[in-house]
Amino acid sequence: MQQITLNEQDELNTPQKGLNLGPLLRIARRQAMVVAGIAGLVTVAATFLSSKSPSTYSGNFQLLVEPVTSAAAISTEPMTLTRGQGRIPGAGNFELDYATQIKILTSPEILSKIVNKIKFQYPDFTIGVLQYYLKVERLEEESQGEDTKILSVTYSGTDEKLVELVLETTAEEYEKYSLEDRTTRIGQGVKFINDQLPELQNRVKSIQGKLQNLQQQYQLIEPQFDGQQLSDRVRKISDQTRDTTRQLQELINLKNSLQRQLKLSPTEALASSALSEDPNYQKLLADLKEIESKIAIQSARFQPESPNIQTLLEQRQNLENLLNREVQRILGQNLGGQPINPRVRTLQNPIRLQLIQQLVDTTNQIEVLQVRNQALIQTKNTVDREVQEFPIFVREYNDLQRQLQIATQTLNQLETQKETLQVEKAQREVPWEIVSQPQLLRDPTGQPIAESSQNKLILLGVMGGLSLGMGTVLLYDKYRNIFYEIKDIEEGHNLPVLGEIPFSKNPELFNNLSVDYDNDEDRISEDSRFQKAFDSL
């Protein structure tokens, strides 16, 4: 009797996790002929189509769009020195935004100019074709893996003459753009500055005129200087007023004292002094005294009625009349018709004359000080008004000065910027440099290299055929829904397999087949394993 040994280890099948390629491999192994047939048919079709596809020609050119050294960058970018306040700029100041620049070069605005030129020879050429086959990218240094300052422009097409024409036209247009774009932007900056300059110049002149009118209105020049000067004037006027008041009070006291001593007013003292100093009055007075002396002498000898006495009396009367008229004349000039104080006609001695002169001088000094004090009062009022108006002047002056400073600074900056832009425009007349001329890819003999897409189509045919074959057999296998192997059952159901019935072409061999256990424990263990597997269903 043939025996079959059972595995004593309890194995329960569990579903596998992750990507399981087992079913695909088993299906591919079973349906290998079908997959190979479909892949072969597709490959043959791709080979036939590739033989009909035209050849493709490619060409390129290269543009140096940035200066290689910082010195060259400074010479072509003078604005960097101005913006850097005289400091030598670093490399970051000259770095071009390549992504943006490439977007601009491949924009419809630039490409449309290229298409319009090409349409003279190729009317069917469109901007869509140019956008699809034109490639602009930053060239990379292969050995160091770093980006260069060169743009590589590539174009592909089936017409080699068209490819050459597109490359030449594109290179010409890019050179033109590099020159016109920068000079146009600078020209727009200069135009903007020229538009702003007249307005700023008029504003500066207007503010200067307002400032001049303000200075003339307040008769001031500059707040700091005028403020100090005004303060000095106030202090000086106060000192002068105080001194004048003190001197005036002292002279008034002296005048009152002299008046009490002379018992004369200043006018009367002046008149008495004038009378005492008048030569005519003094002569008449001397003659009168002489006549009085003669009358006294003759009165001792003659009677009052004697002719000699009468003659002397008449002479005395005449002298008194002349003396009175002279007194009236002199005093009338000094008293102005006021009543005559008898003391005025009194003959003044030298001491009284000295006191009278002092009284007159004191009176004159008092009048001078009073006039001075009045002038000081008027000046003080004027200065006080200026002091009150000075803050208004300072505020308006500072405001106008601030406006003038801003306007002047802006004007100077614009003029400096204009000069800098003009210099920059002159230095930017050099466009981008073509380091590799537009040309087709050629072989060593100089013939254009025709790139055929046959190999690519065949490779795509092989890959597509294999994919189509696998997809077909998968759908067919799914449609039949048959388990070909134990693995298919295990992966298709999350159930343990109780056992496997072997397939044999001679069933008679299994009629007397039985399981021989070594002892009862093996049999009990096998029964237990079977029971557990059955219970887990």
Question: Length of the chain in residues, anyone?
Answer: 537
Q: Cα separation of 330 and 344, whole Å?
A: 11
Instruction: Write the DSSP symbol of residue 92.
Output: G
Q: How confident is the model at residue 388 (pLDDT cuts 50, 70, 90)?
A: confident
Q: Is the pLDDT of residue 511 over 60?
A: no
Cα 269 to Cα 193, 227, 259, 278, 355: the distances in Å are 85, 50, 9, 14, 9
Q: Cα separation of 523 and 526, whole Å?
A: 5
Determine, yes or no, domain membership for 423: no
Burial-class residue 252 by CB neighbours within 10 Å (0-12, 13-18, 19+): middle
Q: What is the mean pLDDT of residues 118-144?
A: 88
Last residue of a domain, which of 384, 418, 450? 450
Determine, yes or no, domain membership for 524: yes
Q: Is the pLDDT of residue 2 over 50?
A: no
Token output for 483: 């388990």
pLDDT at 168 (0 to 100)? 92
pLDDT at 490 (0 to 100)? 65
Domain co-membership, 458 together with 446 = no
Determine, yes or no, domain membership for 12: no
Find which of 64-73, 110-119, 358-367, 420-429 is predicted with most confidence, using mean pLDDT: 110-119
- Bigger pLDDT: 399 or 222? 399
Domain co-membership, 228 together with 345 = yes
Determine, yes or no, domain membership for 497: no
Domain co-membership, 165 together with 307 = no
Determine, yes or no, domain membership for 213: no
Residue with token string 């998968």: 474
Helix (H) or strand (E) holding 256: helix 223-262
Q: Cα separation of 252 and 365, whole Å?
A: 10
pLDDT at 87 (0 to 100)? 43
Percent of the chain with pLDDT over 70: 63
pLDDT at 135 (0 to 100)? 93
Domain co-membership, 103 together with 155 = yes
> Please, what sign has the CA dihedral across residues 503, 506, 509, 510?
positive
Backbone angles phi, psi at 354, to 5 degrees: -65, -40
Domain co-membership, 60 together with 141 = yes
Q: Is the pLDDT of residue 95 over 70?
A: no
Percent of the chain with pLDDT over 90: 10
pLDDT in tens, 451-494: 655 566 667 777 877 777 777 777 777 776 666 666 666 666 66
Domain co-membership, 239 together with 308 = yes
Report residue 498 CA to chain centroid gap. Answer: 85
Report which residue type is found at 195: D
Domain co-membership, 524 together with 479 = yes
Determine, yes or no, domain membership for 7: no
Q: Cα separation of 490 and 486, whole Å?
A: 6
pLDDT at 377 (0 to 100)? 86
Q: Is the pLDDT of residue 349 over 70?
A: no
Domain co-membership, 255 together with 395 = yes
Token output for 199: 């307005």
Q: What is the mean pLDDT of residues 36-47?
A: 75
Residue with token string 């910082």: 70
Number of domains in the chain: 3
CATH of the domain at 229: 1.10.287
CATH of the domain at 77: 3.30.1890
Q: How confident is the model at residue 80 (pLDDT cuts 50, 70, 90)?
A: very low
Q: How confident is the model at residue 111 (pLDDT cuts 50, 70, 90)?
A: very high
In this structure, the dihedral spanned by the alpha carbons of residues 261, 267, 268 and 274, taken in order and rounded to 10 degrees, is 110
Q: Cα separation of 524 and 517, whole Å?
A: 10
Domain co-membership, 371 together with 237 = yes
The domain in which residue 482 lies consists of 22-49+453-490+506-535
pLDDT in tens, 220-276: 666 666 667 777 778 888 888 889 889 889 988 988 888 788 777 766 666 666 666
Tell me what percent of the chain is helix, strand and coil, each rounded to the nearest 5. 70, 10, 25
Mean pLDDT score of the chain, rounded to an integer?
73
Domain co-membership, 71 together with 27 = no
Domain co-membership, 380 together with 464 = no
Instruction: Write the DSSP symbol of residue 149.
Output: E
Burial-class residue 108 by CB neighbours within 10 Å (0-12, 13-18, 19+): exposed
Q: What is the mean pLDDT of residues 137-161?
A: 84
Q: Is the pLDDT of residue 518 over 70?
A: no
Q: How confident is the model at residue 384 (pLDDT cuts 50, 70, 90)?
A: confident
Domain co-membership, 530 together with 445 = no
Determine, yes or no, domain membership for 340: yes
Q: Is the pLDDT of residue 123 over 80?
A: yes
Q: Cα separation of 235 and 240, whole Å?
A: 9
Determine, yes or no, domain membership for 244: yes
Q: Is the pLDDT of residue 90 over 50?
A: no
Tell me the whole-structure pTM to 2 decimals.
0.41
Last residue of a domain, which of 402, 419, 442? 402
